[in-house]
Chains A and B, each alone.
Chain A
Amino acid sequence: MNLSRHEATADACVVSVNETRIDAAVAIQFKDRMRDLSDEAFARIVLDLGQVDFIDSSGLGAIVAAMKQLGPDRRLDLAALNPNVDKVFRLTRMDSVFHIFETPEAALAQ
């Protein structure tokens, strides 16, 4: 599971998913990799999903798990959802539990 992290501001970073799918085949790897990248120095992580064109319910669950493992004082925001990915978030109403931005830059500007 290829994820890369870029420090964006003093306390925020962008994690880019360099894969086209977050699905049942990689959900556990995704969650583990997010834990590795969730350095406590960052109060906020923006997950850039721009390259992802498909998630299933396992991938969705892994993204929710990644947010939960940050705890209540840190945030996971989402950016650059493709239409198919956005649809899964809306269908399951999980769009209501994340801050979702058009681009990583828009997320960081907030």
Chain B
Amino acid sequence: MADMQFSLDFPGSPKAVRHVLTDIRGRAKEGGSGPDTVGQIEIVLAEVLNNVVEHALRHEEEGEIHLRATHTAQGWHFDIRDTGVPIPGGLVPRPDLPSPDCPLRDLPEGGFGWAIVNMLARELSYVRADGCNHLSFSIPES
């Protein structure tokens, strides 16, 4: 399989994220990835990009996201850059999965995002440099 690389620039809005996810799903299928890999790419990218929109770019009306994807025989690698505020603490959040073992009224309605990312992504790294957030991760071919 030939290596493939592409870049996308898009505004930090939920609608733009949805469009990009659908686009990348198509590209991953075309690139020959199986349904498990395509599904993992989509959910991890969704959580990472939603986090950029909802937190890093929360107060930026014209925040932009830059995404670069590289596909090799081993799998996919993504670099995502945004101009928003840094992740608090300067580290990738590594929360425990919220527990479902509780009464109905206490069931978690959030807090799943970074837990999902940590479970599925490999080589997850975060750097703050040049006034931008740089997050990268890999999804292996399964």
Q: Which residues of A contact B (CB under 8 A)?
A: 21, 23-25, 54, 56-58, 60-62, 64-65, 67-68, 72, 83-84, 87-88, 91-94, 96-97
Contacts and interface: CB of A to CB of B under 8 A. Distances in A.
Contact of A94 (B18, B46, B100, B119): B100
Contact of A56 (B43, B101, B105): B43
> For chain B, what secondary structure do more than half of its interface residues adopt (helix, strand, loop), or is it mixed?
helix
B53 interface: yes
A63 B26 CA distance: 27
A29 to B, nearest CB: 11
A68 B50 contact: no
Contacts of A93: 97, 99-100
B3 interface: no
Contacts of A23: 14, 18, 46, 50
Given A61-B112, A93-B100, A83 B35 contact: yes
A91 B44 CA distance: 12
Contacts of A24: 14, 17, 46, 50, 53-54
Most central of B35, B101, B109 by chain A CB within 10 Å: B109
B116 A88 contact: yes
Given A56-B47, A57-B47, A57-B112, A83 B53 contact: no
Contact of A58 (B50, B105, B107, B119): B50
Nearest to A25: B14
A68 B17 contact: no
Given A56-B43, A56-B50, A68-B107, A92 B17 contact: no
